[in-house]
C-alpha cells in the first residue's frame, strides 16, 4: 500500500514538474471571418488558396457591413472583420473591439448601374450620368423598382444614394427604390428580373453573368469605396494574423483582381 502511494505521488510530482509545456497544444480551429457580402466570390477563392498553402481553414460569414459590425459589438465570436467602408470599421474601432495596429485598407471597388440579362450592344441604351439622369432612370424603370442595398446603413446603399444625389437624380427615383439587406441581395433582385435596374459594385456585376452594366458612376460622385480589414480584439486564434497577412500579399492578389477589385499596396494602405 505504501509502495503504491509512493508511485502515485512520484507520478503526480513528475507531471507537475513538467509544467504547462508538457501538455498537448490545443489545436486551432478555423479562422472566423466576418466579411462584407460583396467579397464572397473573391474571398472564397483567396481563402481556398490559403488553405492549399497552409493546411489551415477559414469559416467566413458574409452579410452587410452594418449587420456584421453590430454582431461584433454584441459579442459574436470572430477573428477578422473586413468591411465595405471605413465608417463601419470606425464604428467597431471606436467601440474598442479591434486589436491595436492591425487595421489597414485592403481593397477598392467601383459603383455601377446594372440591368437584367446579357448585354445587347444593339439595343441597350447609352446611359449619360449627367443632369438628365433622373429623367433617364425614371424612363428606364417604367414604374419598376431600382434595387439598392439599404441606403442609410449598408455601404453599397450609402454610396449609391450619394452618387444619385451628386448627379441630381435622387429626388426623381427615391420613391422607386427597393432596398435590400445587402448588395448581393440587391444584385439578386435584378438577376431574377424583379427589378429592371440596380446599383451594385462593379465586382458584383462581374460575378453574375445574368446581369450587365449600363454605366459606371464617376469615382468623385461618392465617397471612395475602400475595404478596411482588421483583427478583432477578442480573437485568440494564432492563425488569424497569418490569414490577414496572406490576404494583403501576392497569394491573394489574383483572386481579388479576377473579381475586379483593386488591391491597395501595403506601403500605401494607410488610413
The 10s digit of each residue's pLDDT in 195-243 is 999 999 999 999 999 999 999 999 999 999 999 999 999 999 999 999 9
pLDDT band at residue 265 under the 50/70/90 scheme: confident
- How many CB atoms sit inside 10 A of residue 130's CB? 10
Q: Would you say residue 27 has pLDDT above 70?
A: no
Residue 123 pLDDT > 80: no
Percent of the chain with pLDDT over 70: 84
Among 233, 136, 149, 144, residue whose Cα is nearest residue 187: 149
pLDDT: is 126 or 160 the higher one?
160
Q: Any bridge partners for residue 90, and if so which?
A: none
- The more confident residue out of 139 and 6 is 139
Provide, rounded to the nearest whole percent, the portion of the chain with pLDDT above 90.
81
DSSP letter at 143 equals: T
Q: What is the pLDDT of residue 15?
A: 37
Average pLDDT over residues 131-152: 93
CA distance 210 to 62: 21
Residue 13 has pLDDT above 70, yes or no: no
Confidence tier at 131 by pLDDT (50, 70, 90): confident
Query: pLDDT at position 3, please?
Result: 41
pLDDT at 84 over 60: yes
Does pLDDT of 107 surpass 60?
A: yes
CA pair distance 85, 156, nearest whole angstrom? 9
pTM of the model: 0.83
Q: What angle do CA 194, 147, 149 make, to 5 degrees?
A: 135
pLDDT of residue 8: 38
CA-to-CA dists, residue 179 to 117, 146, 170, 182, 183, angstroms: 21, 8, 14, 9, 9
Q: Are strands 177-180 and 146-149 parallel, antiparallel or unpaired?
A: parallel
End-to-end, the C-alpha distance of the chain in Å comes to: 70
Banded model confidence at residue 259, pLDDT cuts 50, 70, 90 = very high
Amino acid at each position: 500500500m505504501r509502495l503504491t502511494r509512493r508511485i502515485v505521488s512520484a507520478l503526480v510530482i513528475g507531471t507537475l514538474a513538467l509544467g504547462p509545456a508538457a501538455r498537448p497544444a490545443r489545436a486551432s480551429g478555423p479562422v472566423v471571418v466576418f466579411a462584407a457580402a460583396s467579397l464572397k466570390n473573391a474571398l472564397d477563392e483567396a481563402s481556398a488558396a490559403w488553405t492549399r498553402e497552409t493546411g489551415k481553414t477559414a469559416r467566413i460569414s458574409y452579410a452587410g457591413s452594418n449587420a456584421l459590425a453590430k454582431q461584433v459589438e454584441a459579442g459574436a465570436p470572430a477573428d477578422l472583420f473586413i468591411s465595405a467602408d471605413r465608417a463601419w470599421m470606425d464604428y467597431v474601432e471606436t467601440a474598442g473591439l479591434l486589436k491595436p495596429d492591425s487595421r489597414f485598407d485592403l481593397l477598392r471597388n467601383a459603383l455601377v448601374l446594372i440591368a437584367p440579362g446579357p448585354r445587347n450592344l444593339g439595343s441597350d441604351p447609352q446611359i449619360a450620368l449627367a443632369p438628365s439622369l433622373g429623367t433617364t432612370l425614371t424612363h428606364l424603370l417604367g414604374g419598376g423598382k431600382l434595387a439598392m442595398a439599404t441606403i442609410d446603413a449598408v455601404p453599397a446603399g450609402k454610396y449609391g444614394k450619394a452618387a444619385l444625389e451628386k448627379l441630381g437624380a435622387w429626388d426623381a427615383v427615391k420613391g422607386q427604390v427597393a432596398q435590400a439587406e445587402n448588395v448581393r441581395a440587391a444584385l439578386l433582385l435584378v438577376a431574377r428580373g424583379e427589378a429592371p435596374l440596380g446599383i451594385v459594385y462593379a465586382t458584383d456585376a462581374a460575378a453574375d453573368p445574368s446581369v450587365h452594366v449600363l454605366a459606371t458612376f464617376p469615382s468623385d460622385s461618392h465617397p471612395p469605396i475602400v475595404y478596411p480589414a482588421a483583427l478583432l480584439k477578442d480573437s485568440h486564434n494564432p492563425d488569424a494574423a497569418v490569414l490577414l497577412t496572406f490576404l494583403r500579399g501576392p497569394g491573394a492578389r489574383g483572386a481579388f483582381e479576377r473579381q475586379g477589385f483593386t488591391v491597395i499596396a501595403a506601403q500605401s494602405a494607410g488610413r
